[in-house]
Amino acid sequence: MKIRPAQISDEVAVTDIFLDVLREGETFALPRDSTRKDAREFWFAEGNHVYVCEDEDKICGSYYIRANQDGGGAHVANAGYIVDESARGKGIGRAMAEHSLGESKTRGFRAMQFNFVISTNEAAVKLWRDLGFEAVGTLPEAFQHPTRGFVDALVMFRKL
């Protein structure tokens, strides 16, 4: 398994994974019927530093880091992570998250913030807590889950 900066040639594979995640509708506050163009523009937006995880020449996950705010808030990073459904539960998410903390620090960020972690996303919440993130706030019933109704979203933060 290798984690490296994304290249233009990775865009299709990454967008495929992200579109599947959006269709699930359980983890990102974006429309489930987002188009390929919407998904690509979100993940590869200007200012995003995108990385991929490659396993035996196949892209199995991706993450981006970016500044969470501009100006006086630009020293806090924000990030997003996706792992192909068939590759989940094998440590790829953890490996990418650890990699992203190192990259963020190298890029001069002083902290990382997740703005909207869906409380029902057990794998993500466990992983972020394991890596030292603290839930600094709960947004009550801020997310409409496709099967579980209105559920809380967490703001999670850690210094780097």
Residues that bind ligand COA (CB under 6 A): 21, 27, 81-83, 88-94, 114, 117, 121-124, 126-127
User: CB of 126: closest distance to ligand COA in angstroms?
Assistant: 5
Residue closer to ligand COA (CB basis): 12 or 108: 12
13 DSSP 8-state letter? H
Residue with the shortest CB distance to ligand COA: 93
How far apart (Å, rounded) are the C-alpha atoms in residues 30 and 79?
15
Please give the C-alpha separations between residue 67 and each of 2, 14, 76, 113, 126, in angstroms, as whole numbers.
Answer: 24, 21, 6, 10, 23
User: CB of 32: closest distance to ligand COA in angstroms?
Assistant: 13
How far apart (Å, rounded) are the C-alpha atoms in residues 79 and 31?
19
Residue closer to ligand COA (CB basis): 108 or 150: 150
Residue that is written with structure tokens 């993940």 in the block = 43
Residue closer to ligand COA (CB basis): 11 or 100: 100
